[in-house]
Structure 1
Amino acid sequence: MKRVAVFASGNGSNFNSIVEGEDESYQVALLFSDQPQSYALTRAIDIGVKSESLSPKDYPDKLAYEADLLALLIRNHIDFIVLAGYMRLIGPTILKYYKDKIVNIHPSLLPEFPGLNAIGQALDAGVRETGVTIHYVDEGMDTGPIIKQEKVLIEKADTYESLQKKVQKVEHRLYPETLKELLRKDEVVAEASVN
C-alpha cells in the first residue's frame, strides 16, 4: 500500500474524494497546504488525516521552502504525491526525489486551457466541450504526460458555477479511480522487480 500526500491550496474537495476512494492500493497519510488558512486543512482535521502547512513567505527562496517540504515528506514516509488544487509549480528538489511519482488534476482537456481559471477560459473561448485531465507533473505548468482525460459537454445555458459543478463531479470520480489504477500498477512492477 502506497502512502500518499495530497497537496492542496484551497477548498480541498478533491482531497475528500481521494480519501473516500482509499483501498488496498493507497492510504492518504498527509494533507499538505502552502496556505495556513486553507479550508483543506480543516477538512483533514475533520476526517482524521494528518495535516501540515508551510508558508513559502517564511522562506528566503523556493529552494529553502522545498528543502523543508521534502524533509517533511520523507519524515512521513510518503511514496506518492497527489496535487489537488495546489497552486504552485513543483520545483526541482521535489521533482527529482519523486520522479514519476507526482500527479495533478486539471479542469480542462489539456493542452487546451492550462493554468489558472481553465473553466472561465473554456467559457470565454466558446468551445462546446471541456473536461478533466490527470497528468504527471514536470517542471512546466500543466505540461506533464497525460494519464487520463474525460470530456464534459458545455451547454448554452451553462454558467461558470454550473460548469464547475459538472467538472468537479467528474474530478471526484475520476481522480480516485485513476490513482487506484496507477498505484496498483506500481505495486505489480515493484513486486516483479523483487522476484
Structure 2
Amino acid sequence: MSGRIAVLASGVGSNAEALAEACEQGRIDGRLCVVASNRPEAAVLARASARGLPTLALDHRAYPDRATFDAALHDALANFEPDLVVLAGFMRILSPAFITPWRGRLINIHPSLLPRYPGLDTHARALAAGDREAGATVHFVIEALDAGPAILQARVPVEVDDNPERLAARVQEEEHRIYPLAVQACLSGRVRLAGDRAELLGRPLPPAGADPAALAGR
C-alpha cells in the first residue's frame, strides 16, 4: 500500500514538484495527499492544482499567534491522514505543539550542511566564511530549530566566482535528487527516528546521514 505524503511549502514549490514527479515515476511508493501552504498566494498551490493534487491554504496572518496557527495546521493536516509530513521550503518556525504529534513522521530539507548554518541566508553565510563546499541536508524535525538528526546530505563545491544565487541554484539541483530518496526511505520504514537519533534498518546513522546507495537499498 502506497504512503500518503503531506507537503508544506511557502513559495514556488520546486521540491514539491520534484516529489510529485518521483511519485508519478514510481521512485516513491506513495502519493501527495495534500500540498499545503501558509500563504494562499504561493505559487506552490497553483502548481499542485495544475497536477490535480489536493491543496490547502491556511494563512498564518489570520491567526493571533503561532500556537493558534500551529494547532489549526495540525488539525487540518490530520484530516488528510498523512503517513509523512514533508517540509519543502516552509518558511515558518513550527512550535513543539505541532512537532510533537508528528515526531518521527516529520522531515525537512535545509540548504546547508547541517549543523553548519541553521536558519536563513545559508549560502551567503557559507561564502562569507570561505567554505570550499556547500550543500543540503534532509533531517528529521525535532523541537530545536534545524537540529534534528540527518537522514541524507548532498555536497557541492563552492566555485571561486560564486554568489549566493549561483550557489543556491546548484544546491537546489541536489535537493531535488536527494529528497525523494529520503522520503521513500522513511515511507518504507528503512529509516526511522529512534529517540533523538536517525536509524537505517535499526543501525544509527552517522552525523552526516546515510550513503545514498545504502538509503536506496542498493
Common fold: TM-score over 0.5: yes
Which residue of 2 is the match for residue 80 of structure 1? 84
Matches of 1:91 and 1:161, distance apart in 2: 30
Select 2:182's aligned residue among 169, 178, 181.
178
In the TM superposition, 1:1-195 aligns within 5 A as 1-22=2-23, 23=26, 25-185=29-189
Structure 1 unaligned blocks of 5 or more: 188-195
SS of the equivalent of 1:18 reads helix
- 1:30 is aligned with what amino acid? V
- 2:35 is aligned with what amino acid? L
Q: How many residues matched? A: 188
4+ aligned runs moved over 4 Å, structure 1: none
1:186: Cα distance to partner? 5.8
| TM-score where L is the length of structure 1 | 0.91
Are the counterparts in 1 of residues 38 and 58 from structure 2 also a CA contact under 8 Å? yes
Give the percent of matched residue pairs that are identical in Structure 1 and Structure 2. Answer: 38
Are the counterparts in 2 of residues 89 and 140 from structure 1 also a CA contact under 8 Å? no
1:25: Cα distance to partner? 2.4
- After superposition, the CA RMSD in angstroms is 1.7
- 1:6 is aligned with what amino acid? V
1:67: Cα distance to partner? 1.9
Higher relative contact order (CA 8 A, sep 6+): 1
Matches of 2:136 and 2:186, distance apart in 1: 17
| TM-score where L is the length of structure 2 | 0.82
Are the counterparts in 2 of residues 89 and 139 from structure 1 also a CA contact under 8 Å? no
